[in-house]
Structures are given as C-alpha cells and as structure tokens.
Amino acid sequence: MLDSAKNMKTSLIRDEGIIKSASVLTDEQVRKVINDVLKNETGARLKTYVDTCVHCGLCSEACHYYLSHDKDPSYSPAGKVKQTMWEMIKRKGDVGTAAIQRMSEIASTECNLCRRCAMYCPLGVDIAYIMLVVRRICNKLGVTPTYIEDTSHSHSVTMNQMWVKDDEWIDTLQWQEEEAAEEIPNLRIPLDKEGADFMYSVIGPEPKFRAQLIYQAAVIFNAAGLNWTMPSSPGWDNSDMAMYTGDHEIMGRVKKVHFETAMRLKVKRIVMGECGHAFRSVYDMGNRWLGWKMPPLPMVHSIEFFHDLIKEGKLKLKKKFESPVTLHDPCNVVRGRGLHEMARYIVGESCEEFIEMHPNREHNYCCCAGGGVINCGPPYRNTRVDGNRIKAEQLFAAKSRGAKTIIAPCHNCHGGLEDIVEHYGLHMDIKFFGDILYDLIEKPE
Amino acid sequence: MIGKEQWDWNPGRKIITDLGKWKEEYGYMEEPAVSPDGEKVAAVIKTPEEEFGVCVNGEIWESTFDKICYLQYTPDNRLTATVSDVGEWTVAVDGETWENRYDYMWNLHISADGSRIIAAAQKEGKYLAVNNDVPWENEFMFMTDLSVSADGMHTSGVVQVVPFSEGDIHTFRKGCYTTAVDGRTWENNFMNVWEPEFSPDGKHVAAQIRKSNYEYSIAVDGQAWNNFFGCVWKPRFSPGGDSVSAPVRVGGAWMLARDGEIIWNKKFVQLWHHAYSPDMQHIAAIVAPKFGKWTVAVDGKAWKPCVDEYVTDMVFSPRHNRVACIGKDNGRYYVMTDGKKWDEDFDMAWKPAFSHDGEHLAVKVEKNRHYTYIVDGKILRESYDMLWEPVFSPDGTKLLIRGITRVSGQKEQYFREVISLNQI
Amino acid sequence: MHSIYNFVSGPMVWVAFIVFIGGCLYRLLSMGILAAKRDNVIFSYASPYYGMRSILRWLTPFATTNMRKHPGMTVVTFIFHFCLLLSPLFVYGHIALISESWNVSWWYLPDSVGDVMAFLVVGACAFFMIRRLKDPEVKYLTSASDFVILAIVAAPFLTGFWTYHQWPGYSICGILHILSGEIMLMAIPFTRLSHMIFFPFTRGYIGSEFGAVRHVQDW
Ligand code: SF4
Ligand code: SF4
C-alpha cells in the first residue's frame, strides 16, 4: 500500500461500485489520469488556489460538515483539499488505487460544492472548484459512487436524470393535463407550442415521483394566463448529475439538448421549476463548457418567476398561508444567483408568519443533499444526515420560535431536509413555493 | 403529390376561414396547423361530447378521439396526427386511422415528399418504429432518437440490446446500446449511441458513439472510426455519400474531422451543426471562434460579425452556396447571411428560407407581438397577429404568406396571400 | 566580518531585489500565460467593479462575516500585515541607508514606533505559530514548511529589533537582519508568501463571479 493510503481515514469504503471499479485499476493508471488532468485540463486557477492557500484554516467554520462533526478538521474545506488534491500534487499522481477510493468519497460525499467556504476564505480560494477537479479525476478512473454514476448514465442515454423513456414523459404530461382539466376545464399543458413566451423545464424526478408539481405549475400558469409550452422531446429535463460526477462531456451534451430544444421552440426564455442544482448547471456550468458565457436564453428560476408574477399582479392570492413558516435558502440559487430577497418577497406576500432561520440568505447552511451528494444514494445517507447536525439545530431553533413549515424551493434541499427532519425527529413540514401558491391563488372557474 | 408549381400563385389575398368562430363554437381550440400551400387550416377542438376532434377549414373530422397529438400537415398537404382511443394509439391521416395500434405513439416524422409517415411506438414495454403503418419486425426494450432517410423508406433509432438493472454501472460500461436500422441492429454495441443519421441514398447510417467513459467517436454502419476523441457532435454524410464528417474535440478545442482525420486545421471553442453546400464543394458550421462569441464558419473561415448569445437555424441556399442563419445578441435576434449581419433586430426570428435559385432570402420575424417577414433585408409593410414561415414560388418571383389577422372583436381571419417580390 | 557585511549590504541587496521583482513578474506572467492557455474563460468573467468591491471589502478590518467571527485573528492579521508592509519602508535605518547611497529620502517613522511595529510583527508570528500548534483545524493543515515560512517572516524583524536595541551580538545580528530580509524578499514569489501577489487575483476573481455573475456578495 502506498503511504498516502495509510494516511487516509481507515473507514471502509461504503460503495460497492467504487470498490469493484477500483479492483481493476492499477496504481499506474491512477498516476497517469491524475497527471493528465492536472497537466492538460487544469491551469492557472487550480495552481493559484493551491499555491496561494496559506493553510490558515479560516475556511473551517464555513463548512457544515466540519461544524456537525464537532470541528473535526478532516472535514474542514482545506482539510478535504489536503486529503485529496494536495496529496495528488505532492505525490505527482502516485496516490494509488486504495487512496483514490477514499478521495472519491471525500470529494463526492463529504463536500456539497455549496461554495459557502468561498465566502470565508480571505483569499477567495474556491474549494468547490478543487473538489470538482478531484471528482473528475475519479470519474475518469471509474471510481465514482454508483448511484450518481448511474444517474449520469441515465442522462447520457435518455437526456434525463431518471431513465424516463420518451413516451413516458409525454404520457405523464398528458395525464397531468387530464387531471388538472378536471379541476380547471380546458386547462392545457401545451406541448411543443412554437413561439410561446417561455418553455417550462423540470427535472427528471418530477415526472417520475412528483408529477403533481407539473400539475400545480400548469394550474398556476393557467391562472396567470400565460403563453407557455413544454417540449414533447428529450430536452425537457434541466437537471444534471454529470456536472457533479465531473463528466463535463455528458453535462455539455445534456445542456445542449435542453437549450436547443428551447431554440427550436422559438421561446424567449426558459422558466424552470424549483431546483437549485439544475440552475447551476444551466446558468453557470453547462453553458460555459459549451462556450456560452451566459445561458443563451434567459434562465428564470421559479423563485424569480413567481416573484415577478405576484409583483406584476398576475397571480392573485385569495388568502395567506396560516401556519408559521421558515425559509431554507438553497445554495445554488442564493450563493448561485442572489434570489434570497425575491424568495422573501414571495413569503411576505403569501404567508402570515415568517420566522427566519439563522444564519440565512447567502450565509445559509447547505441542506447537505446538494452537490450530488444525495444522488450518491443510500450508502451515504448517514454521511449526509450526520454531516448536517448543524442544520438540524438551525431548524430546531426556528421551530422553537414557532416555525412549523419549511419552505425549500429546491428539489435536492427537499430530499436532504426530509431526511434531516426525520432523523432528528423535528416533525416539520417541507413545502415548495409551488405547493403554497397552488393552494392560495385565485383559480379560474 | 401535387408539386409547388400547381399551387395557386396568383397574387392576392384569400380569406380561408374565421378561426374566431371556431373558438366560439367549440370553446376549445389548440394551436392551428396550416397546409404548405396555405389552402387549409386545421386545429384540435373539443366536441360537445367532450371528445377531441379535428376541424379543417370549418369542417370536422368524422372520427373523434380521446387524445390528438402532433397535428401537422405533410409536404403534400395531407393532415396527420397521432391519436388515441380507449387507451390505444395510432396515426390518423386526413381522418383515417392506421390499422396497427400501440400502447403509445409519438414523434411523427414525414418524408420530404410527404409520401411516408413514420412514428415511434411502444407496446407492452417494447419499442419500435412504424413506417406507413408497417412496423419493424423487431422490437426493443428501449428506443430513442428516431431518424428517417430522405426518401422515408428507411428508419433508424438508438436501441438498447443488453438489459441491465438500474444502478448496474458495470454492465452499462460494457456497452448495451446500438443502432437499429429498419429494425435490424448493428453488429457492435457501445456505451452510448446518439442521433443516427442516414446517407443521402438511405443505404448507410452514421452515429455518434461513446466507447468508454471518455472515448468518443463516430460509427458508420456499426464500425467506429479508428480515432477516438474527447467528444463528438452529430456527423453528416457528404452529399455524394462517400464520406462522413463530424465535429470532434481535441485538447479541449473543436475541429472538423472527416472519416477520422482532421480536415479543418482550425480550432474553435465550439463547432456544431455543420452542413454541406448542395454543390458539395463547401462545408459551413456554427462556430464560436472565441469564448462567448458566435458566428458561422465556411470551410473553416469564420465570418467577421459575431453575436454574444447564440447562432441557430443555419441553412445553405439551394444554389449559389449562400449561407444564412439567425444570431442572437444582447437579447435581440438578427438575420445573418453571407458574412454580414443585417441591421434590423427582432424579438424573435425563425429559420431563414431561400428561394430555389438562391437569389432571395425571407425570414419570419416578430416584433412587439406582431409577425412579419424580412425579405432581402427589407421588412414587409404589414404585420400580422400570427404568421407561418414564408414559402417562395418555384420561380422565385413570388412569396406565399400564411397568416392570421384579428379584425374587429372576435374575428380571427386565417388567410393565404401571394405577393410578388417586387411589390415589397 | 566587514567583507560579509559589505557583501550582504551591497551585491546581495541587488540580487535580492532582482529575484524578488523578477520572480514576482515571472510568477504573474507565467500564471497569466497559463490562464490564457487553459482557463481563458476566467478573463471573460473578470469584472473590475465587483473585483475591486471584493478586494476592498476584504482589506477592511471587520468588514466580513468571518472576520467578525474571529476578532482576535482579525486584529492580529491586520496589525501584522500593516506593520510587515509599512515598517520596512519607513523605518529610519532603511531610509538613512538609501539616502546615503542615492541621496533620496522620504518621511520616516519615529524610532520608537518602528520599534514597536517590529515587535508586533514578531509577536504576531508567535501568535500564528501557537495557532498552528494549538488550533486543531490549523494544525491539521500545517506542515513543516509553514513554520519555515513563519521563521522567514519573523527573522528580519526579530534581528532588526535586536540590533536596534544593541543587545549582545548586535553587530552579527545586523548582518543577519539584512540577510534575513533578503531571504524573505526572495522567498515571496516562490513560496506561499506569494499570496501577496496573487491575493488581488484570487479575491478579485471570486468577487467578480459572485458579484457580476451570481449577483450576490462574497463576504
Ligand atoms: S460542503 Fe460547502 S463549505 Fe464544505 S467544503 Fe464543500 S463547498 Fe466548502
Ligand atoms: S482555503 Fe483559504 S481559508 Fe482555507 S486554509 Fe486555505 S487560505 Fe485559509
């Protein structure tokens, strides 16, 4: 065993897929791939970050993993870089097949790429970027956690996250349209309507597990009298786990289809459901890999969209949501797009009582599901739940001041918070803005 | 099929119907579809029995359905759609349905002459393509990316041939997908196959493939090129059908390769949607010469004007090797052609259309929720509430306008109008 | 002894400055070229306004959340960097030497102030060292090189302080003072001390990304 492997925490690798994939690897392959990525795919950014980091540890308290593990330094942002990228560089890639498995776990499941630490490091070192480079190296070696790798495979085949087949997608939309038309006669989910004002795109889990969200969106758009469409072809999904495995090529392919679908439909913008990581993918990552400085069409997250609809008077609310709410700020649309005040505007307009959790806005703690961690599946559920005790404490504090419902305008946050609420016995409801607005708006007869 | 020559090319406007009346009568009307010659307009409506029907120029199809989807006209002016009744799907053409029924049908394709209608189908979890009501002999556990040869005689799709359970990443990596052409699969499987494309004669098929996580290439009739790349985009056969070219990614930059070898020795930040000129002498592509700058390159040479957001809908003229596309810059849409960007900007612009002789260029554009055409750089005087894309007369002297105008209150007149180009 | 003094205060000074300035230019230039080659995307996102907004914010004591979370560290860091950068430029001894050689001079610090500043730098270094030894999160990241760097930084101030007070062996200390100052200068471009030259870039870049692209503040 190479000695860098000995330095690793002795915990066993939890993912069978990682172990199996690593079993056919050689130390030489590991060395080659690391050096190849370091030499040919990274440049000044990585080098500057590594050379400039003064090992001061000031980023530590940014990280919920660190805080939740009683300040165990191996969970601090720079601590994770030390165990991964510093080792790779120091040993010129010679870290071996044993260590690379643990490195994959650290980068893929012990960091949410939430970028909170970038706001705490005085030098502005972007740890999330470094972790993503580690993930890419691991992905090139095939040692990515199984569940998320499978999701990335789904993206590559179906252009969506959940192996939803072409016909299942259209069928689901028609089914939701039918159901919704029973509530609101002649309601439509217009498919492939060329020249509509916007295309509505969602993430794979919506048709698969949460089809009612599409129903609700249709009702809301209908109530606001909007001219919208959804595509009947692949390209409807805006989600992206390939971004999080470091497989930029599949990320690019999936984003290309998404944007080109909107271009084909001649819509002026894309409105997307309440998802955070997908926003990062379309706004920040996928577009860049394809050569678009900004998204080629405006990407409007539901928070911004609902905010505008309410502000412009297009959505009228009959009453306010009565039970006291708190708001979880999803990293990818807050640190990723600054939508926190718009979210508070919607809360203000739609809820009777709002209880802030602390810290909040751009300083909010991640849900610990983000960055693809929840997509690494059951083997890492406890990594997430134990790694975010601090969130449970934060929620508990909000709860003791009266909050009963958590509004989390992001799918991953929902998943992550559900597990936390359950594990720590918090007994709080979790809702999307869509859930709340759907109940409150004046619907056409 | 009636050729374009036989259409009514006499200048003048003909009001076909008042769509406002349909809405009033049925209370429900989907987006209308219009025939290429503009003589007919159709839309899905709801009958008083709460069934879906199709209304064509005011008449409704005899049969009604539970669902109607993909309503569209074929190039030879027949009206088709996928329809479902009691949970079964089929295709209807001018109101007559096919014999075969499936659990689901979607993704209608129509051959260039309109003679063939093809759809993807699924029955009991098995997937296949159906061509003029004739199904593939073989069915697959999964199929996507249906494509059709120019004459409509052949169909292909990406199919799964090796089963694996969700989460089995190791079987997946061994290669479980291939292309099926008319239902028969290629010999080789790959990790991924994308967007099969037929040769002009319909005899060969090329597709993008991924052999392993990071090895991409093009396979022609199942045989991968000798060279692998960091990534590839959709391949094209040369018009003669003797070679295949595709954008490939080398060292983080995009280049154009033919049969595995680089042919444009020029690197781009992005390069895709390449196309051959009809005379086979030139290749044009949408490119990003610099990060965040988009334009068209012809034979590897990028046009000077670039736009910041995107370029789409690039087309070659049928003659004279002219190229046109739509560019988006700072939220506005522009027509770009022959290395220049036209001055007028729009809220939206559709695919450019050249006349057959390549002399004229017309584009449907939108401004302030009104639609019009810009022809050879000049905007039509009139604008409309709705407009379909322009069609040139075969001699290139006239233009067919198909549109809707809203007149006083409820009236929504669908009309066809022929104008001569020198009128503009 | 005299010849050693002559050497370190003559040719060696030149060498040190050439290595320092040349080294900084080299590092910046090579990083710039590397960036142009492989990360040229970052140039498109560089925003002078948001970059500066972030840099200035992080140069203002207690202006960021993290600084407020660590008041002790913040006070020490600011005093440390302030004294470290200013005292060499404005202590009387340095200005006197320069004026002797080139006949140029500028405002200088009263001796006692310079003295206190040197003391503060050394004290801050001691604080950093204790932090590295005691704080688990810092200790975890610390390697031998971090102590070497601390020593490199502390040495010129410690020796300067010693010499100024004419404590025993102060003449040797004077030579060591010059030598260690030169070593520090030469170390800047090639060790983690290079954060001095890269700070505006890393901070400016993250500031641009947060401010101009993501419309959010980074502090
Ligand atoms: S989880 Fe967030 S705060 Fe922690 S290291 Fe990763 S990006 Fe930084
Ligand atoms: S990443 Fe920044 S805060 Fe963390 S140790 Fe390095 S320099 Fe200090």
Smallest CA–CA separation between C216 and chain B, in Å? Answer: 22
Residue B125 confidence (pLDDT) above 50: yes
Tens digits of per-residue pLDDT, C150-198? 999 999 999 999 988 888 888 889 899 999 999 999 999 999 999 999 9
* Structural domains of chain A in order of their starting residue, each with its CATH number: 4-143 (1.10.1060), 151-310 (3.40.50), 317-440 (3.40.50)
Q: Which helix (H) or strand (E) element contains residue C13?
A: helix C11-38
Spatial contact of A55 and C146, defined as CB atoms under 8 Å apart: yes
- How does DSSP assign B159-171, residue by residue? EE-S---TT-HHH
* B90-109 CB burial, b ≥16 within 10 A, e <16: bbbeebebbebbbbbbbbbb
Residue A91, CA distances (Å) to A51, A104, B10, C143 in order: 15, 17, 80, 15
Tens digits of per-residue pLDDT, B320-333? 899 999 999 999 99
Smallest CA–CA separation between C64 and chain A, in Å? Answer: 8
Tens digits of per-residue pLDDT, B78-97? 999 999 998 899 999 999 99
Smallest CA–CA separation between B312 and chain A, in Å? Answer: 8
* Helical residues (DSSP H) of C39-143, grouped into ranges: 41-45, 48-58, 65-69, 71-90, 92-102, 111-134, 136-141
With an 8 Å Cβ cutoff, are C202 and A123 in contact?
yes
One-letter amino acid of B323: V
User: Measuring from atom 2 of ligand 2, which residue has the nearest CA?
Assistant: A121
Q: What is the pLDDT of residue B261?
A: 95
Which residue bears the tokens 């089809």?
A: A211
Percent of chain B at pLDDT > 70 equals 99
Residue B168 confidence (pLDDT) above 60: yes
- Atom of ligand 1 lying closest to residue A368 CA: 1
SS3 content of chain A, % helix, strand, coil (to 5): 55, 5, 35
DSSP state at residue B136:
-
* Helical residues (DSSP H) of A298-410, grouped into ranges: 302-311, 331-334, 340-350, 381-386, 389-400
Chain C residues touching B292 at Cβ < 8 A: 44
Average pLDDT over residues B144-153: 96
* CB-CB neighbours of A85 under 10 Å: 25
Q: Is pLDDT larger for residue A7 or for residue B42?
A: B42
* Structural domains of chain C in order of their starting residue, each with its CATH number: 2-39+78-198 (1.20.950.20)
Residue B207 confidence (pLDDT) above 60: yes
User: Measuring from atom 3 of ligand 1, which residue has the nearest CA?
Assistant: A63
Pocket lining: A315 vs ligand 2, CB cutoff 6 Å: no
Residue A143, CA distances (Å) to A122, A407, B61 in order: 33, 35, 58
One-letter amino acid of A409: P
CA-based nearest residue to B359, from B375, B343, B373: B375
- Atom of ligand 2 lying closest to residue A52 CA: 7
Spatial contact of B252 and B259, defined as CB atoms under 8 Å apart: no
Q: Of the candidates A40, A153, A256, which has its C-beta nearest B172's C-beta?
A: A153
Token reading at A228: 């919208």
Give the full edge-to-edge strand order of the sheet including B33-34. B33-34, B41-46, B52-56, B59-60
Average pLDDT over residues B226-247: 96
Q: What is the pLDDT of residue B260?
A: 95
Spatial contact of A78 and A53, defined as CB atoms under 8 Å apart: yes
Q: Which of B269, B290, B291, B309 to mutate against chain C (most C CBs within 10 Å)? A: B291
Which residue bears the tokens 């200048």?
A: B11
Measured over the CA atoms of residue B220, residue B225, residue B228 and residue B232, the dihedral's sign is negative
Spatial contact of B341 and B305, defined as CB atoms under 8 Å apart: yes
User: Measuring from atom 5 of ligand 1, which residue has the nearest CA?
Assistant: A77
Which residue bears the tokens 């028969």?
A: B184
With an 8 Å Cβ cutoff, are B291 and C44 in contact?
yes
> Candidates A46, A50, A58: which one to mutate for ligand 2, based on the most atoms within 8 Å of Cβ?
A58
Pocket lining: A121 vs ligand 2, CB cutoff 6 Å: yes
The confidence band for C20, taking pLDDT boundaries of 50, 70 and 90, is: very high
* Neighbouring residues of A375: CB distance < 8 A, sequence distance ≥ 6: A147, A148, A151, A241, A244
Q: Which of A138, A152, A157, A294 to mutate against chain B (most B CBs within 10 Å)? A: A157
Local confidence pLDDT in tens for the 445 residues of chain A:
344 444 444 457 889 999 999 999 999 999 999 999 999 999 899 999 999 999 999 999 999 999 999 999 999 999 999 999 999 999 999 999 999 999 999 999 999 999 999 999 999 999 999 999 999 999 999 999 999 999 999 999 999 999 999 999 999 999 999 999 999 989 999 999 999 999 999 999 999 999 999 999 999 999 999 999 999 999 999 999 999 999 999 999 999 999 999 999 999 999 999 999 999 999 999 999 999 999 999 999 999 999 999 999 999 999 999 999 999 999 999 999 999 999 999 999 999 999 999 999 999 999 999 999 999 999 999 999 999 999 999 999 999 999 999 999 999 999 999 999 999 999 999 999 999 999 999 887 7
Average pLDDT over residues C129-147: 96
d(CA A160, CA A150): 12
* Angle at A64 (CA atoms; ends A63, A70), nearest 5 degrees: 100
C-alpha atoms less than 13 angstroms from C-alpha of C5 in its C-beta half-sphere: 8
Does the CB of C60 have a partner CB in chain A at under 8 Å? no
Spatial contact of C205 and C42, defined as CB atoms under 8 Å apart: yes
Q: What is the pLDDT of residue C97?
A: 87
d(CA C217, CA C219): 6
CA of A442 to the centre of ligand 1 (A): 41
* Neighbouring residues of B320: CB distance < 8 A, sequence distance ≥ 6: B357, B358, B359
Give this complex's ipTM. Answer: 0.97
Q: What is the pLDDT of residue B407?
A: 83
* Angle at C34 (CA atoms; ends C33, C39), nearest 5 degrees: 115
C-alpha atoms less than 13 angstroms from C-alpha of C76 in its C-beta half-sphere: 15
A333 three-class SS:
helix
